[in-house]
Amino acid sequence: MSEPKAASLLAQSIPSTYADVPAKRGALYKQVLKRLKNNKRSLLGLWMVSLFIFIAILAPWISPYDPLEQNMDKLLQAPSLSHPFGTDEYGRDILSRIFYGSRISLMVGIVGVVISVVFGVAFGTIAGYFGGKIESVIMRVTDIFMAFPGFLLALAIVSVLGPGMVNLMIAIGIFSVPSFIWITRSAVLSVKNKEYIEASRSMGAKHRRIIFKHIIPNSIAPIIVLSALRVATAILSASGLSFLGMGAQPPSPEWGAMLSAGREFLRTAPHLSIVPGIAIMLVVLGFNLLGDGLRDALDPKMKV
Amino acid sequence: MFNYVLKRLLQMIPTLIGVSLLSFIILQLVPGDPAELIAGLDASPEEVQIIRERLGTDRPLYEQYIDYNWQLLQGDFGTSLRSDNPVLQEILERFPSTVNLTILATLVTVVIGLFSGIIAATKPGSVRDHTAMAFSLFGISMPVFWLGIILILVFAYYIPILPSGGSSELKHFVLPALVLGISSAAVLSRLTRSSILEVINQDYIRTAKAKGVRQWLIIYKHALKNAFVPIITVIGMEIGNLLGGAVLTETVFSMNGLGRYIIQSIQFRDYSAVQGSILFVALLFVIVNLLVDLCYAAVDPRIRYDRKEA
Amino acid sequence: MKRKLLEMKALKTYFYTGDGVVPAVDGIDITIYEGETVGIVGESGSGKSVTSLTAMRLTPGKVVEGSVTFDGRDILALSEKEMRGVRGNDMAMIFQEPMTALNPVFTIGEQLLEAIRIHMKLGRSETKARAIEMLRLVGIPRPEQMLREYPHRLSGGMRQRVMIAIAMACNPKLLIADEPTTALDVTIQAQILELMQQLKTSQGTSILLITHDLGVVAEMCDRVAVMYGGQIVEECDVLTLFTSPKHPYTQGLIKSMPTLETNERRLYSIPGSVPPPGSLRDGCRFSPRCEFAQAICHERHPQLEAVGAGHSARCWLHAAEAKEAFQ
């Protein structure tokens, strides 16, 4: 009984404009966790993502075969007990290749998005916080990047850099930078003029301190949501580029590349194409569910 | 309205310059000397020098860029290194197929996406809402090339009613348009639903109800027209994605369109063709975005007036 | 005696949210006679808006108990189709926020004509003539031109006039006005109130006025119900309300009105704030904020009882029962 009373007294003594500031962050965090737990979709997403992360980490131990080991006696076998997803045109075990392939897809997706977040958040924060000329230059350049359909831009980048994993990650990274710039800038703009930031500025805080202590923590929610959704897009695009032969190269068990190689045998051994596609879909679905759930938990009205 | 159109056209100029700069830079990033690439390994240094002069790559970059723009303005998108034909001519030969594919796919997108979104939004939380949203979640998570392969498997191999590839007749376009359209429809459906749900809680919807307007008129007239601005945005964005996605779809269905041309050019290291086609698609996308903006203004009077007065 | 137009009896509208049940309207009795203006006064969260929306059957909450009778018809039993025939036709509504109550993407004309088209089966030109007549009636200059304008081109006062025109277009028997002047400038407020008063006299419309502003009540209403925590705590004619309010909450509201005569430096304010709906407790709902609260006020819930002719209050201070208990 005494506790709420004390809290309400406290609330009265603090001007209301300060009431929604950092002090409440702990409570907000708890509330978000609770809402996440109550959201079946996001839990399912979290489970799916965790499952794939586990598979990626444990691939060497849980794979029944070496993903690159060829077996000329067992070409293009249909799914069976010894090869649950069958074998490919070199007699390699598809299940093992799918397990190892999750390492590639998750790495490309996550590293790619980390690249986008680093650049996107940096430029977005600068644009939003400082405004003026810097902002218009950054936003103009962003507009230009956005004038290219994203997938084509990534394709153009890998085509000049040459195929390969590193170039694939760079291309995928650049592909998402504009959307992170946009989202960060608008998040920063919406908190920039809040009273607590003006207060901190009036007390002589340096730009760096204001940005890292106040602006970024208070605009992080949409960035987190966008990151989860963008990992999904990145994995999808990376597999598309690999499908076109622009990403991971043949012996590597990349799902898109596997699917592309399997096309030749579509009539006789459709599982070669179907299975990697399902793997891509499930991991992408997991990240999409997680992103949706995070948005619902953090702020259902968020525009991401 | 006229002023608004004029203003939007002027605003396009910096974007166009940027787009040409970016596509120019892309070619500069190609490792190695394009002249050596064209001349081949057994060419003499003199031969390479001649090609270099012909290409103009011996001159400073800014001069090359100005030249490049000048050529673009004259409709010269460069010469294919592979076939020696003008790139624009090769693009235009393949373009109709891609346009047809994009239009059909957009149709599929709008029909499926808009209606499933509306159906979901009219009864949030209902079975049909959950079903529609589950389908669209799968739709956005599915790789287009995989869906294409599955459809080929089903409709060309198991129940052979449609061709698995080609681009000469209408029936060749059915599966590709479905594939591209379904993935975009998933995006549009989610957005339509959330836009309508947002609008439906607005005061003016309550006003309409208080006037005694029927439920379906409230959705289709009062809510939908307001929800149209975000919906049009996504349709515009999806048309861009369709142009990009055509690369994958045309490859899967062996269609002789712009997307496959880009892939073939990349495989042959025909960089001027790659540069020209990507620039072409970007220009197209800029035009689509302009049309989207004009649609906004047509739908929402506030945009027309505010811009004019600002 | 005049005819009863709207009668709500023991009405309860509850909201079922993720956090539990919220009894926004918790047992309301209110009657509006023909030609009368009844005010419902209360702070935000007292349930006054939900009461008015329930009459129109537009509340997202659920009516769990009670009845609403309008013009001899059981509103709660009507089909959705029949209800649409009532809304905008016999019973019309205007809202607090004229900025958002009009659809931004349709012209004024389209929105006004729509209401007329739905309920009055008139020909094209008659419909338009009616629209122009309505705009003129609510004091809008150049009505023909106004039909082609979009809402964002109008000021708040003009938009509220348009809202009134839409509401009055089909000669409703009852006009429900939910905080019609709250969002407007003071001078515009007076104009809008005057307009409503005029229309009431000329058209014979009854008005249910929802407001938190006692000044508006004094100007407009014949009878007043004061709401607190989803219930009526006092009901009487407007004169009695200002001359001899019984309930401490009503007294507090009146004391907190700024007047020219008061010499005090600070305006009175009722201590505490409205409890969020759903956080109900034993005893009188106002007791935590009441300066006259006694033991019984915290323990038992008072009933609405007559304290004079046409005057009732929900307070232990005035209940006969309370007197007995404490004598």
Over residues C5-12, mean pLDDT: 92
Q: How confident is the model at residue C280 (pLDDT cuts 50, 70, 90)?
A: low
What is the spatial distance between Cα B250 and Cα B95, in angstroms, rounded to a whole number? 12
Give the predicted TM-score (pTM) of the model.
0.83
Q: Chain B residues with CB inside 8 Å of A141's CB?
A: 18
What is the spatial distance between Cα B244 and Cα B239, in angstroms, rounded to a whole number? 9
Contact criterion met (CB < 8 Å) for B305 and C84: no
Nearest Cα residue to A277 out of A288, A261, A293? A261
Q: What is the DSSP string of A220-288?
A: HHHHHHHHHHHHHHHHHHHHHHHHTTSSS-TTS--HHHHHHHHGGGTTT-THHHHHHHHHHHHHHHHHH
Model confidence at C251: pLDDT above 70: yes
Contact criterion met (CB < 8 Å) for B212 and C104: no
Model confidence at B255: pLDDT above 60: yes
Contact criterion met (CB < 8 Å) for C118 and B213: yes
Complex ipTM value: 0.88
Residue of chain B with shortest Cα separation from C175: B210
Domain spans, chain B: 32-76, 94-299
Contact criterion met (CB < 8 Å) for B146 and A141: no
- Residue C173 token pair: 């028997």
- Residue A212 token pair: 């890292």
* Range B94-299: architecture per CATH: Orthogonal Bundle (1.10)
Contact criterion met (CB < 8 Å) for B302 and C150: yes
Greater confidence (C160 vs C283) lies with: C160
Cα torsion B234, B240, B243, B249 to 10°: value is -40
Flag whether residue B244 sits within 8 Å of chain A, measured between CB atoms: yes
What is the spatial distance between Cα A266 and Cα A258, in angstroms, rounded to a whole number? 12
What is the spatial distance between Cα A289 and Cα A297, in angstroms, rounded to a whole number? 12
Greater confidence (A198 vs C69) lies with: C69
For residue A12, the SS3 value is helix
- Residue B90 token pair: 């090769």
Residue ranges of domains in chain C, CATH in brackets:
4-90+172-326 (3.40.50.300), 100-170 (no CATH)
The bridge status of strand C174-178 relative to strand C206-211 is: parallel
Q: Which residues contact C220 (CB under 8 A, 6 or more apart)?
A: C37, C39, C193, C196, C197, C207, C209
What is the spatial distance between Cα B109 and Cα B178, in angstroms, rounded to a whole number? 9
Q: Which chains have at least 3 CB atom pairs separated by less than 8 Å from chain C?
A: B
- Backbone torsions φ then ψ of C42, nearest 5 degrees: 170, 165
Q: Give me the residue label for tokens 């005090």.
A: C264
Contact criterion met (CB < 8 Å) for C87 and B212: yes
Check if the beta carbon of residue C304 is closer than 8 Å to that of residue C291: no
Q: Chain C residues with CB inside 8 Å of B207's CB?
A: 93, 95, 101-103, 111, 163, 166
Q: Chain B residues with CB inside 8 Å of A259's CB?
A: 143, 145-146, 149
- Residue B262 token pair: 């880009």
Over residues C112-137, mean pLDDT: 91
**How confident is the model at residue C279, as a pLDDT?**
61
Nearest Cα residue to A78 out of A254, A263, A255, A274? A274
Based on its alpha-carbon atoms, the radius of gyration of chain C, rounded to whole angstroms, reads: 21
**How confident is the model at residue B40, as a pLDDT?**
72
What is the spatial distance between Cα C325 and Cα B159, in angstroms, rounded to a whole number? 88
For residue A67, the SS3 value is coil
- CB neighbourhood size of C206 (10 A): 22
Contact criterion met (CB < 8 Å) for B210 and C88: yes
The bridge status of strand C37-41 relative to strand C223-228 is: parallel
What is the spatial distance between Cα C308 and Cα B93, in angstroms, rounded to a whole number? 93
- Backbone torsions φ then ψ of C174, nearest 5 degrees: -130, 135
The minimum CA-CA distance between B228 and chain C, rounded to whole Å, is 10
CA angle C263, C265, C270 (to 5 degrees): 105
Model confidence at B234: pLDDT above 90: no
Check if the beta carbon of residue B77 is closer than 8 Å to that of residue B87: yes
Check if the beta carbon of residue A211 is closer than 8 Å to that of residue A125: yes
Residue of chain C with shortest Cα separation from B228: C105
Q: Chain A residues with CB inside 8 Å of B198's CB?
A: 301
Greater confidence (C265 vs B163) lies with: B163
Q: Chain A residues with CB inside 8 Å of B281's CB?
A: 148-149, 152
Q: What is the pLDDT of residues B101-114, one digit of tens each?
A: 999 999 999 999 99
- From residue B281, how far is each of A153, A187, B275 by CA, in Å? 10, 31, 10
- Burial of A69-84, coded b for 16+ CB within 10 Å and e otherwise, reads eebeebebbeeeeebe
What is the spatial distance between Cα A201 and Cα C58, in angstroms, rounded to a whole number? 47
C309: burial class by Cβ within 10 Å (0-12, 13-18, 19+)? exposed
Q: Chain A residues with CB inside 8 Å of B274's CB?
A: 156, 159
Over residues C298-306, mean pLDDT: 85
Least confident of B28-32, B184-188, C106-110: B28-32
Flag whether residue B263 sits within 8 Å of chain A, measured between CB atoms: yes
Q: How confident is the model at residue B226 (pLDDT cuts 50, 70, 90)?
A: confident
**How confident is the model at residue A15, as a pLDDT?**
34
**How confident is the model at residue A8, as a pLDDT?**
33
* DSSP code of residue B78: -
Over residues A130-140, mean pLDDT: 90
- From residue C132, how far is each of A36, C108, C198 by CA, in Å? 54, 11, 18
Chosen for mutation from B198, B202, B203, B207 (greatest number of chain C CBs closer than 10 Å) is B207
Contact criterion met (CB < 8 Å) for B222 and C103: yes
Q: What is the pLDDT of residues B10-19, one digit of tens each?
A: 888 888 888 8
Based on its alpha-carbon atoms, the radius of gyration of chain A, rounded to whole angstroms, reads: 24
Model confidence at C324: pLDDT above 80: no
What is the spatial distance between Cα A177 and Cα A124, in angstroms, rounded to a whole number? 9
SS3 sequence, chain C?
CCCEEEEEEEEEEEEEECCEEEEEEEEEEEEEECCCEEEEECCCCCCHHHHHHHHCCCCCCEEEEEEEEECCEEHHHCCHHHHHHHECCCEEEECCCHHHHCCCCCCHHHHHHHHHHHHCCCCHHHHHHHHHHHHHHCCCCCHHHHCCCCHHHCCHHHHHHHHHHHHHCCCCCEEEEECCCCCCCHHHHHHHHHHHHHHHHHHCCEEEEEECCHHHHHHHCCEEEEEECCEEEEEEEHHHHHHCCCCHHHHHHHHCCCCCCCCCCCCCCCCCCCCCCCCCCCCCCCHHHCCCCCHHHHHCCCCCEEEECCEEECCCCCCHHHHHHHC
What is the spatial distance between Cα B255 and Cα B234, in angstroms, rounded to a whole number? 26
Model confidence at C322: pLDDT above 70: no
Q: How confident is the model at residue A22 (pLDDT cuts 50, 70, 90)?
A: very low
Contact criterion met (CB < 8 Å) for C106 and B225: yes
Model confidence at C211: pLDDT above 80: yes
Provide the number of CB pairs (under 8 Å) joining chain B to chain C: 75
Task: Report which residue type is found at B9.
Answer: L
Over residues B218-238, mean pLDDT: 86
What is the spatial distance between Cα A151 and Cα B240, in angstroms, rounded to a whole number? 9
Residue ranges of domains in chain A, CATH in brackets:
30-60+85-298 (1.10.3720.10)
Q: Chain A residues with CB inside 8 Å of B134's CB?
A: none
What is the spatial distance between Cα C229 and Cα C50, in angstroms, rounded to a whole number? 12
Contact criterion met (CB < 8 Å) for C118 and B211: yes
Q: Chain B residues with CB inside 8 Å of C119's CB?
A: 212
The minimum CA-CA distance between A11 and chain B, rounded to whole Å, is 31
Chosen for mutation from B1, B201, B202, B204 (greatest number of chain C CBs closer than 10 Å) is B204
Cα torsion C276, C279, C282, C283 to 10°: value is 0
Model confidence at A262: pLDDT above 80: yes
Flag whether residue B267 sits within 8 Å of chain A, measured between CB atoms: yes
Residue of chain B with shortest Cα separation from A237: B143
Over residues C236-251, mean pLDDT: 90
Chosen for mutation from A40, A137, A143, A148 (greatest number of chain B CBs closer than 10 Å) is A148
**How confident is the model at residue C286, as a pLDDT?**
86
The minimum CA-CA distance between B209 and chain A, rounded to whole Å, is 24
- Residue C89 token pair: 């036709």
What is the spatial distance between Cα A288 and Cα B41, in angstroms, rounded to a whole number? 49
Least confident of A1-5, A230-234, A277-281, B262-266: A1-5
Q: Which chains have at least 3 CB atom pairs separated by less than 8 Å from chain A?
A: B
Q: In what order do the strands lie in the sheet with C20-33?
A: C20-33, C4-17, C62-70, C73-74
The minimum CA-CA distance between B170 and chain C, rounded to whole Å, is 39
Q: How confident is the model at residue C208 (pLDDT cuts 50, 70, 90)?
A: very high
Q: What is the pLDDT of residues A48-83, one digit of tens each?
A: 999 999 999 998 999 888 888 887 877 778 888 888
Over residues C183-200, mean pLDDT: 87
Residue of chain A with shortest Cα separation from B237: A149
**How confident is the model at residue B216, as a pLDDT?**
86
End-to-end CA distance of chain A: 41
Q: Chain C residues with CB inside 8 Å of B206's CB?
A: 58, 95, 101
Based on its alpha-carbon atoms, the radius of gyration of chain B, rounded to whole angstroms, reads: 24
Provide the number of CB pairs (under 8 Å) joining chain A to chain B: 132
Contact criterion met (CB < 8 Å) for B300 and C104: yes
**How confident is the model at residue C254, as a pLDDT?**
86
Check if the beta carbon of residue C223 is closer than 8 Å to that of residue C237: yes
Check if the beta carbon of residue C194 is closer than 8 Å to that of residue C202: no
Contact criterion met (CB < 8 Å) for A149 and B30: no
Mean pLDDT of chain B: 86
Q: Chain A residues with CB inside 8 Å of B149's CB?
A: 259, 263, 266, 273-274, 277
Option in C80, C114, C150 nearest B213 (CB): C114
**How confident is the model at residue C292, as a pLDDT?**
84
